């Protein structure tokens, strides 16, 4: 069983803010009451709602989350009421909430050259012998290239190529070996016109892969795992995915993960990395964020983060969700092996789409593409 990350409050907090309070770390906005189609548009026109990343949905209510030293308190109110509350609390609170709402509602520009107006599938190609689900399947170059082409034909708009397993307990590989594994695959797929992402935490691999045609750098350490990564990413011009991981080493990240409040700690961690990128001159519009499901998190942490994914829209970035075949599915279910976790994976992915996630990183591309088509038709019909 999983528990809520928040204490529920019956009303919005009053008189809580002091002039020197760091509102960015004490007051958060969670979009709730999402609606699509004509209903969502009507909410916005009437002033009773706001768009969610100018995408398929609008939200009609706001969860105001107040973090205190001992707990995080959540109170939900209709959109218009929440805006009025923020304005009446103080100028600082009003400005902070207004900034968050505008970040939540702002349009996300194309990422990797791809429009985010509809859900985007990122297909996984692990050129590794030891990845948790598909290690060894396409370890040879030609097999990996074929896998990328098959996934693209099946509906993957992005092919994510990785040469080092980051599963819990995985042993690192040398940068030279990682380059040997991934560069021929990246180059071949990019030469065929595909949008390629390089899944790496090493600056040398980032630079070489972008030179070989990769459009996206996908880093599980959010550019914190290599001292040269931020500078290389900034200079590359590639778009980026910053993932949250507690700890800096996949070998030990699951040893004893602890959070004061997992959804808020993940939000704050990603906000810190966005600030580092901004200081390096990296435009926020180039960045997608990933909550890092399964990376330094218990099943309970994962469930809490997945249940509040819409919170991440407050960072003003596209959101990428990677839950495919991960062990938390088995731990919340019946202990299934990796290749038997697709139903649970899909449940989490569709919940992510309902929260406004723009990009899904998956192994099972044809099945996910079919599910998205049905999901999209239902949203359009609504």
* Domain map (residue ranges) of the chain: 7-105, 120-381
The answer to whether the CB of 359 falls within 8 A of the CB of 319 is yes
Do you know the residue count of the chain? Answer: 382
Which band of pLDDT confidence, cut at 50, 70 and 90, is reported for residue 380? confident
Closest CA to 305 of 280, 328, 335: 328
Closest CA to 249 of 225, 273, 226: 225
Band of residue 132 on the pLDDT scale cut at 50, 70, 90? very low
| 294 pLDDT more than 50 | yes
Q: Where are the beta strands (DSSP E) in the chain?
A: 7-8, 27-36, 50-51, 57-67, 72-78, 120-126, 158-162, 195-199, 216-219, 239-243, 287-290, 318-321, 359-362
Residue with tokens 């789409």: 353
Confidence at 287, pLDDT banded by 50, 70, 90: very high
First and final C-alpha spacing in the chain: 33
pLDDT averaged over every residue in the chain: 93
Higher pLDDT, 257 or 349: 349
Does residue 379 have an active-site annotation?
no
**In the beta sheet, which residues pair with residue 362?**
123
| pLDDT exceeds cutoff 80 at 248 | no
Q: Among residues 93, 67, 83, 74, which one has the least CA distance to residue 15?
A: 93
Which entry of 273, 286, 297, 326 is annotated as an active-site residue?
Answer: 326
The residue from 95, 361, 373, 379 that is catalytic is 361
pLDDT for 298 equals: 93
CATH 3.40.1030.10 correct for 120-381 = no
Residue 8 annotated in active site: no
Range with the poorest average pLDDT among 15-24, 174-183, 222-231: 15-24
């Amino acid at each position: 069983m999983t528990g809520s990350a928040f204490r529920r409050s019956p009303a919005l907090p009053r008189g809580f803010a002091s002039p020197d309070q760091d509102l960015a770390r004490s007051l958060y906005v969670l979009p709730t009451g999402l609606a699509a189609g004509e209903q969502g548009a009507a909410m916005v026109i009437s002033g009773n709602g706001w768009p969610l990343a100018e995408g398929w949905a609008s939200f009609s209510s706001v969860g105001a989350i107040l973090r205190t030293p001992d707990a995080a308190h959540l109170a939900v109110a209709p959109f218009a009421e929440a805006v009025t509350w923020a304005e009446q609390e103080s100028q600082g609170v009003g400005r902070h909430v207004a900034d968050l709402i505008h970040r939540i509602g702002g349009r996300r520009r194309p990422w990797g050259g791809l429009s985010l107006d509809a859900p985007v599938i990122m297909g996984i190609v692990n050129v590794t012998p030891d990845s948790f689900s598909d290690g060894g399947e396409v370890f040879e170059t030609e097999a990996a290239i074929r896998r990328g082409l098959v996934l693209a034909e099946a509906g993957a708009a992005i092919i994510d190529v990785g040469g080092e397993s980051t599963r819990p307990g995985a042993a690192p590989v040398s940068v030279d070996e990682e380059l040997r594994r991934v560069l021929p695959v990246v180059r071949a797929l990019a030469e065929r016109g595909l949008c390629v992402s390089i899944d790496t935490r090493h600056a040398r691999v980032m630079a070489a892969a972008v030179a070989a045609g990769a459009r996206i750098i996908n880093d599980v350490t959010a550019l914190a795992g290599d001292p040269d990564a931020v500078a290389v990413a900034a200079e590359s011009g590639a778009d980026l995915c910053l993932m949250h991981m507690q700890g800096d080493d996949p070998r030990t990240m699951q040893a004893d993960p602890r959070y004061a409040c997992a959804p808020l700690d993940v939000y704050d961690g990603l906000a810190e990395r966005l600030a580092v990128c901004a200081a390096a001159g990296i435009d926020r519009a180039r960045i997608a964020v990933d909550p890092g499901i399964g990376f330094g998190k218990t099943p309970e942490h994962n469930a809490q983060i997945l249940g509040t994914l819409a919170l991440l829209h407050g960072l003003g970035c596209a959101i990428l969700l990677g839950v495919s075949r991960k062990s938390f599915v088995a731990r919340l279910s019946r202990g299934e092996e990796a290749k038997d976790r697709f139903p649970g994976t899909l449940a989490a992915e569709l919940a992510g789409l309902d929260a406004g996630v723009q990009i899904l990183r998956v192994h099972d591309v044809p099945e996910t593409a079919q599910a998205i088509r049905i999901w999209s038709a239902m949203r359009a019909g609504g």
